[in-house]
Amino acid sequence: MRAAFTLLAAIQLLAAVADADVLLVGNKSADTVWALDAATGERRAWFDTGAGPHEIEVSPDGRHAVVSNYGRRDAPGDSLTVIDWAAGEVARVIDLGENSRPHGMAFLPDGRLAVTAEGIDSLLIVDIGDGEVDARIPVGPGTAHMVAASPDGAHAWVTNIAAGTLERVDVGAGEVTGSVATGDGAEGVAVTRDGGEVWVTNRAADTVSVIDTGTLEVLATLDSAGVPIRIAFTPDGRHALVTNARAATVSVFDVAARQLVRSIPAAEDGAEYKETLLGKAALPIGVEIHPDGDRAWVAVSGGDEVAVIDTASWEILGRWPTDREPDALGVILSR
């Protein structure tokens, strides 16, 4: 596995952290993470990662970024790359051993990281400081894929793609305390700011489920055609952005009204896109929103680019080049 970090990249990264917000882009076919100036798209630094970096999670204090190295189709990954942004270096590579195919991640308030391990249908609780797996919680068969944490960290919410379910995990007890059927291909997941609802994208059903976190009742099922795959809430909680991979669109939902208010084309007219799992397609996947709420970014995997969205007009302002097949996104704020 490659985990090299060049001296030049370290110098560039330290400068970037000091004077600009940084957008992190995980390029899953290139096995790299790029750090782009969040205002201009200029590449400030880059890291080599393990094979198939699928997700990036930034710690609440902005000091660390963790990359899940998922691996290739015929070679499961089994590690996390931990980047210390303040020091400008890879702090460690955590070997997860038999806990293969790490994917979704969410930081807990105590600083530990919840990580799905598809290879063993479990949720891991990892101490990124010492690199130890503190707990392994089985979540049932069904390909544990993405995870979101409740605001207080008491619960983690795990989507099971093949099962089409959402699992509620009691982190302290280390067990699943509830399960709800959401729809075929349950994948993306996000919790509202008040912790009262969890939203799930069902990629095979072309829907988004809204679930009450207390009762596990499905409160609403919203249409989002074309393989809805990721979801993120704006910082003010008013809108939810959903990337639709096959349709090459971004759905914008009014959270309170539970209604679609905008569909943003992610593909550029006349552009040529490369072959993906869904054919020659733009394939928007990862979505990230700046903490100020004024702009959002979408990883357009089939175009090796990131689309920049103005959240006031819901228009695409620009497109920034990336390495091969961008997927995961994260933001680190300047210090």
pLDDT of residue 20: 85
Percent of the chain surpassing pLDDT 70: 94
Q: 13 falls in which pLDDT band (50, 70, 90)?
A: low
Q: Is the pLDDT of residue 1 over 60?
A: no
Closest CA to 298 of 320, 280, 281, 278: 320
Strand partners, 289: 296
Residue 305 backbone dihedrals phi, psi, to 5 degrees: -155, 165
* Per-residue tokens: 293: 């709420």
Residue 15 banded pLDDT, cuts 50, 70, 90: low
pLDDT of residue 263: 98
- The Cα 127–Cα 135 span in angstroms is 10
- Render 124-188 in DSSP notation, one character per residue: EEEETTTTEEEEEEE--SS-EEEEEE-TTSSEEEEEETTTTEEEEEETTTTEEEEEEE--TTEEE
Element (H, E) at 297: strand 295-300
Question: Which residues are paired to 48 by β-bridges?
Answer: 32
Q: What is the pTM of this model?
A: 0.94
The confidence band for 4, taking pLDDT boundaries of 50, 70 and 90, is: very low
Residue-level length of the chain: 335
Per residue in 26-67, pLDDT (tens digit) is: 999 999 999 999 999 999 989 999 999 999 999 999 999 999
pLDDT above 90 for 200: yes
Query: Which has more pLDDT, 314 or 17?
Result: 314
pLDDT at 260: 98
Other CB atoms within 10 A of residue 73 CB: 7
Report d(CA 219, CA 211) in Å as an integer: 5
- Which residues face 291 on adjacent strands? none
More reliable by pLDDT, 335 or 96: 96
pLDDT at 189: 98
Say if CB 126 and CB 112 are below 8 A apart.
yes
Q: Residue ranges per domain, the chain?
A: 7-235
User: What pLDDT is attached to residue 3?
Assistant: 39
- Cβ atoms of residues 204 and 228 within 8 Å: no
Residue 5 has pLDDT above 60, yes or no: no
Q: Phi and psi dihedrals of 205, rounded to 5?
A: -95, -10
Confirm if 296 and 289 have CB atoms less than 8 A apart.
yes
12, pLDDT greater than 60: no
Averaged confidence pLDDT in the chain: 93
Is pLDDT of 241 > 70? yes
- List pLDDT tens digits, range 149-159: 999 999 999 99
Question: Residue 301: what are its φ and ψ, rounded to 5°?
Answer: -65, -40
pLDDT surpasses 80 at 8: no
Per residue in 262-297, pLDDT (tens digit) is: 999 999 998 889 877 667 789 999 999 999 999 999
Cα(302)–Cα(245) distance, rounded to whole angstroms? 10
Question: Under CATH, which number does the domain 7-235 receive?
Answer: 2.130.10.10
